[in-house]
Structure 1
Amino acid sequence: MPEDHVEDNSTTPGLPRLVCLALFGTPSLKGLLRIILANDKRWETQRQLMIDRTTNINTVSALVLPTAAAFLTTSSPTAIVNWSHTVPYVCFLAGSVFATLSLLSGLGVLGFVNTLQSDAVKEMLYNKRKFFERITLLMMPFLCLFMAGLILVVGFVSAVWFGNSILAKTVVMTGFAFFIFMIFMTFDSLSVNKDNVRGYENMERLHVTTRASADMTTEPSTMCQL
Structure 2
Amino acid sequence: MVPESCPPRENPDVSPVNSSNAQDSVKVQRFRRFMSLVLTGTPSLSKLFDILERPDQTEWRDLKQQLIARTSNVTLVGSLAIAGSISFVTSKSPSPIAAWDNAVPYISLCAGGLCSVLSVVSGLGLVMFLNAVQRQTVRDIQASTFRLIVVAILLAMPFFWLLMGIIVPIMGLVVAVWLGDDTFAKAGATIGITGLIGTLLVIFISLY
Partner of 2:169: 152
Alignment partners' CA distance in 1, 2:35 and 2:141? 14
In the TM superposition, what is the alpha-carbon distance from 1:181 to its structure 2 partner?
Answer: 1.5
Alignment partners' CA distance in 2, 1:70 and 1:151? 16
Deviations 1:38-58 (A, max 9, x none): 233111100000000000001
Q: State whether residues 45 and 152 of structure 2, in contact with CA within 8 Å, keep that contact through their aligned partners in structure 1.
A: no
Q: State whether residues 24 and 46 of structure 1, in contact with CA within 8 Å, keep that contact through their aligned partners in structure 2.
A: no
Q: Percent identity?
A: 31
Partner of 2:99: 82
Residue 31 (structure 1) aligned with residue 24 (structure 2)? no
Q: 2:137 aligns with which of 117, 120, 125?
A: 120
| TM superposition score normalised by structure 2 | 0.80
Q: How many residues in Structure 1 have an aligned counterpart in Structure 2? A: 180
Q: 1:169 aligns with which of 174, 186, 190?
A: 186
Give unmatched runs, 5+ long, in structure 2. 1-25
| TM superposition score normalised by structure 1 | 0.74
SS in 2 for 1:74: coil
Partner of 2:114: 97
Partner of 1:208: none
In the TM superposition, what is the alpha-carbon distance from 1:84 to its structure 2 partner?
Answer: 0.6
Instruction: Identify, as 1 or 2, the structure richer in helix.
Output: 1
The letter for the 1-side match of 2:126 is V
Alignment partners' CA distance in 1, 2:153 and 2:72? 17
Alignment partners' CA distance in 1, 2:85 and 2:49? 40
In the TM superposition, what is the alpha-carbon distance from 1:30 to its structure 2 partner?
Answer: 3.5
CA RMSD of aligned residues (A): 1.8
Alignment partners' CA distance in 1, 2:85 and 2:181? 23
The letter for the 2-side match of 1:32 is L
After superposition, the Cα gap between the structure-2 partners of 1:69 and 1:17, relative to the gap in structure 1 and judged at 3 Å, is same
Alignment partners' CA distance in 1, 2:163 and 2:41? 19
In the TM superposition, what is the alpha-carbon distance from 1:24 to its structure 2 partner?
Answer: 5.3
Alignment of 1:1-226 (within 5 A): 13-22=29-38, 23=40, 25=42, 27-38=43-54, 39-191=56-208
Give unmatched runs, 5+ long, in structure 1. 1-9, 192-226
